[in-house]
Amino acid sequence: MRLLKVVVIGFLVVFASCKKQHKVNWVSSTDDNLWVEKVYAPSINEALSDIAITIDTNKQQQTITGFGGCFNELGWDALEMVKPEEKQQILNDLFDSIAGCKFNICRMPIGANDYAVNWYSHNETPEDFSMENFSIDRDKKRLIPYIKEAQKINPEIEVWASPWCPPSWMKHSKHYACKANPEVNDLPLELSSTEELVSRFIMEPEYLEAYALYFSKFVKAYEKEGIDISAVHVQNEPNSAQNFPSCVWKPQDLGIFIADYLGPKFEAENLDTDIWLGTIERPQIDRVNDVLEYKNTKDYVTGVGFQWAGKGAIKEVHAQYPEMQLMQTETECGDGSNDWKAAEHTFELMKHYFENGANSYMYWNMVLDETGKSQWGWKQNSMISIDSKTRAIVYNPEFYLMKHLSAFIAPGSIKLLASGDTDNSIVFLNNQSNEINVITYNNDDNKRTLNLNVNEQIIKAELDPKSFNTLTISLN
């Protein structure tokens, strides 16, 4: 029996040697050894357990449009703390299309979000329905410079935008928050409510018309600054009453706003900016349906964006609306731990979203100071941390995890349906370069052998314990 096994292995080696071997590039990261470029050599270690995956390039799924993060005010303030050459290096590491993360799609807020310096909108003049006092002057201090620096590195970067809250006078409470918290806001307790499915926006025609105009003026103002807004997502987390800028909407009311006001406004003004239903943070499919099935809303909506518990809805949305683009809009941001465990969780999210039809994946804060704290008290993770006292710069594990995907999976790549031990692996095909990218996590405490069958050719690699790995396999 032993002799037969040796003969079979020998036959396979001889047979493989008769075929042109695929070229393999390999990058690996562990918690204590990040971003190691390994020299690939076929590994045959029979003592190790296998992760066996079969890849058929004919089993193609959705097209990938890209990766990115969010331009936030506190991120720019953190960048301003370091030396100009250090700041430039950080920006290159995020946006450079050769050596960086190659981010090509990024988010920004319309007005204040929870990582703004403080509350503002682009028009806080009550009942200014004609938007005569609309202004983006505040953004010229932080957000626009942030985006401009990214554009210098990647002029093709797409920027999409979403409001956390409309101008406060458009809400019943006349306040940016929905939930009172005396420690971080001055919303009166009698106006505080966490009830869902009840619109805080004033659903009267003059307010709806003015809000559509507000979006239009935002897009045009940014165009004048040399920044094309590729898409707007109509409301960040429309079900969540927060102590920071937020606005709960009844789903049907969002449909009314899109179909009867925002869509026609963009159409009348020939705006190229797409409209998305986002960012959805609840798993109930009926809340998405109630928006999209109102009148002709679907005619105006290009895609649906998901974050947090919205991950529970993406599978059904993909099945019911296969023509829709899908985006993961804000990776779950943790509690400021910035550790390996956070990276493991983010990889699980990536796997879930791409397995269920997502075309793109967004991180949240790309850069923050060492506290990671918003002005409304929530401490969160970031890809890169800058110490406000020492000015030390730390690239956190999630920076490298994002790069394990974004630096290799070019826009236009196609998600492949692989088979076998794929619980911790995602596979993509780049048709332009004729390469396969396999991103896999060895979640075991021991080394394991990755055993890839690529179009009936075997590739083996010995993976370090608890390691993220990207293998790029040339099919030429």
* Shared domain check, 74 and 49: no
pLDDT tens string 301-319: 999 999 999 999 999 999 9
* Shared domain check, 197 and 76: yes
Give kind and range of the element (H or E) at residue 352: helix 340-355
Q: What is the mean pLDDT of residues 231-243?
A: 98
On whether the CB atoms of residues 403 and 359 are closer than 8 A, the answer is no
Q: Quick one: pLDDT at residue 3? A: 39
Strands lying side by side in the sheet with 467-474: 33-38, 24-30, 467-474, 435-442, 425-430, 414-416, 60-63
Split at pLDDT 50, 70, 90, the class of 19 is: low
Residue 472: is the preceding peptide bond cis (ω within 30°)? no
Whether 248 is in a domain gets the answer yes
% the chain with pLDDT above 70? 96
On whether the CB atoms of residues 213 and 262 are closer than 8 A, the answer is no
- Tell me: pLDDT of 16 over 80: no
Residues of the domain holding 288: 65-408
* Shared domain check, 275 and 206: yes
Q: Which residues contact 410 (CB under 8 A, 6 or more apart)?
A: 64, 102, 430, 432, 433
Whether 37 is in a domain gets the answer yes
pLDDT tens string 193-226: 999 999 999 999 999 999 999 999 999 999 999 9
- Tell me: pLDDT of 39 over 60: yes
- Tell me: pLDDT of 21 over 80: no
- Tell me: pLDDT of 10 over 60: no
Whether 219 is in a domain gets the answer yes
Q: Quick one: pLDDT at residue 11? A: 37
Query: What global pTM score does this model have?
Result: 0.95
Whether 73 is in a domain gets the answer yes
Task: Supply the mean pLDDT for the chain.
Answer: 95
Whether 128 is in a domain gets the answer yes
Best CA proximity match to 243, nearest among 196, 189, 281, 279: 189
Q: Quick one: pLDDT at residue 20? A: 65
Q: Quick one: pLDDT at residue 4? A: 38
Phi, psi of 306 (to 5 degrees): -130, 150
Domain boundary residue among 379, 408, 437?
Answer: 408
Whether 7 is in a domain gets the answer no
Q: What is the CATH number of the domain that holds 404?
A: 3.20.20.80
Among the ranges given (6-15, 31-40, 353-362), the one the predictor scored with the smallest mean pLDDT: 6-15
- Tell me: pLDDT of 29 over 90: yes
Q: How far apart are CA 155 and CA 178, in angstroms?
A: 38
Phi, psi of 12 (to 5 degrees): -65, -40
pLDDT tens string 394-446: 999 999 999 999 999 999 999 999 999 999 999 999 999 999 999 999 999 99
Domain boundary residue among 408, 436, 460?
Answer: 408
Q: What is the CATH number of the domain that holds 34?
A: 2.60.40.1180
* Shared domain check, 212 and 315: yes
On whether the CB atoms of residues 55 and 93 are closer than 8 A, the answer is no
DSSP secondary structure code for residue 381 in this structure: -
Whether 11 is in a domain gets the answer no
Q: What is the mean pLDDT of residues 168-184?
A: 98
* Shared domain check, 122 and 262: yes
Q: How far apart are CA 15 and CA 7, in angstroms?
A: 12
* Shared domain check, 343 and 223: yes
* Shared domain check, 120 and 220: yes
* Shared domain check, 249 and 106: yes
> Within a 10 A sphere around the Cβ of 252, how many other Cβ atoms?
17
Split at pLDDT 50, 70, 90, the class of 46 is: confident
Phi, psi of 109 (to 5 degrees): -85, 155
pLDDT tens string 118-132: 999 999 999 999 999
Which segments within 389-466 are labelled E, that is strand? 393-395, 414-416, 419-420, 425-430, 435-442, 448-454, 457-463
Whether 9 is in a domain gets the answer no
- Tell me: pLDDT of 463 over 90: yes
Number of domains in the chain: 2
Q: What is the mean pLDDT of residues 288-292?
A: 98
- Tell me: pLDDT of 2 over 70: no
Q: What is the mean pLDDT of residues 88-106?
A: 98
Q: Which residues contact 197 (CB under 8 A, 6 or more apart)?
A: 239, 248, 250, 251, 287
* Shared domain check, 250 and 179: yes
* Shared domain check, 37 and 116: no
Strands lying side by side in the sheet with 419-420: 419-420, 50-55, 448-454, 457-463
- Residue length, the chain? 476
- Tell me: pLDDT of 182 over 60: yes
Residue 54: is the preceding peptide bond cis (ω within 30°)? no
Phi, psi of 225 (to 5 degrees): -85, 5
With tokens 């590994």, the residue in question is 43
Please give the structure tokens belonging to residue 427.
């596979």
Split at pLDDT 50, 70, 90, the class of 8 is: very low
- Tell me: pLDDT of 295 over 80: yes
* Shared domain check, 316 and 330: yes
pLDDT tens string 322-347: 999 999 999 999 999 999 999 999 99
Strand, helix or coil for residue 355: helix
Q: What is the mean pLDDT of residues 96-111?
A: 98
Domain boundary residue among 351, 377, 408?
Answer: 408
* Shared domain check, 398 and 458: no
